[in-house]
Structure 1
Amino acid sequence: MTDTAGTRTLAHPERAEIRLEDVLQALADPMRLCVVRELAASEVEQACSSFALPVTKSTTTHHFRVLRESGVVRQCYQGTAKMNELRRDDLEALFPGLLDGILAAAAAEESRLRAEG
């Protein structure tokens, strides 16, 4: 999509359009949860290329699209890089505590699995 100024823009759901089932489905995938955990830890925008996911480029693109279309992340172009930021404020307003709870549960699971292995 190109806006009137000639810059590329990406479609995002408005806050009111974000649905719990879409967010939960997006976060249920381990690769997408990994991306969200990294974004939450950094608190700054990151380029898609900065994530070292063990999948193909096309699969990585799919994962980012699912995160964007579900309302979990906001993407924008900076030059040729597609930058990503977590939509923490929108998610917190709609589903208070959900993101923090999921992130805490994911960290606890990671610790448990490390201790077992």
Structure 2
Amino acid sequence: MPRSQRRRSALTHPDAAEIDLLDVLHALADPTRMTIVRTLRAEPERACGTFPVDVAPSTLTHHFRVLREAGVIHQREDGNRRWTALRLADLDGRFPGLLDSILDAYETNAGAVAS
């Protein structure tokens, strides 16, 4: 079957109540995934191929899967594009202030390293 006729696999997302702290921390422990999350913090939704990362498409797909399965992002299909959004409300409901604290610490450390 030609690639254009294959169906994409269904995107799975954990329910908000099932988001696990260790999965979230693991997902955020990678610089590429942090770049994705930081980008989504500034812009609520973005098409998958438009993130400022320098990795192969297959590697980017892996990073999106880790973030999605941890409950950090939500992805949806719209035609031939896949859109990605940060699940900030779900994460704040489950772990109040966690994502903001991690992102603020990351920004502080990134600034200290650049100095």
Q: What CA distance in whole angstroms lies between the structure 2 residues aligned with 1:9 and 1:45? A: 19
Q: What CA distance in whole angstroms lies between the structure 2 residues aligned with 1:64 and 1:22? A: 13
* Aligned twin of 2:31: 30
| TM-score normalized by the length of structure 2 | 0.89
- Equivalent pair of 2:38/2:103 in contact (CA under 8 Å): yes
Deviations along 1:3-49, one digit per CA (max 9) or x if unpaired, are xxxxx75111001111000000000011001100010011x210110
Once superposed, what is the RMSD of the aligned Cα atoms?
Answer: 1.7
Q: How does 1:10-49 map to 2 (within 5 A)?
A: 10-42=11-43, 44-49=44-49
- Equivalent pair of 1:9/1:76 in contact (CA under 8 Å): no
| TM-score normalized by the length of structure 1 | 0.88
| Identical positions, percent | 50
Unaligned runs of 5+ in 2: 1-8
Which aligned runs of 4 or more in structure 1 are off by greater than 3 angstroms? none
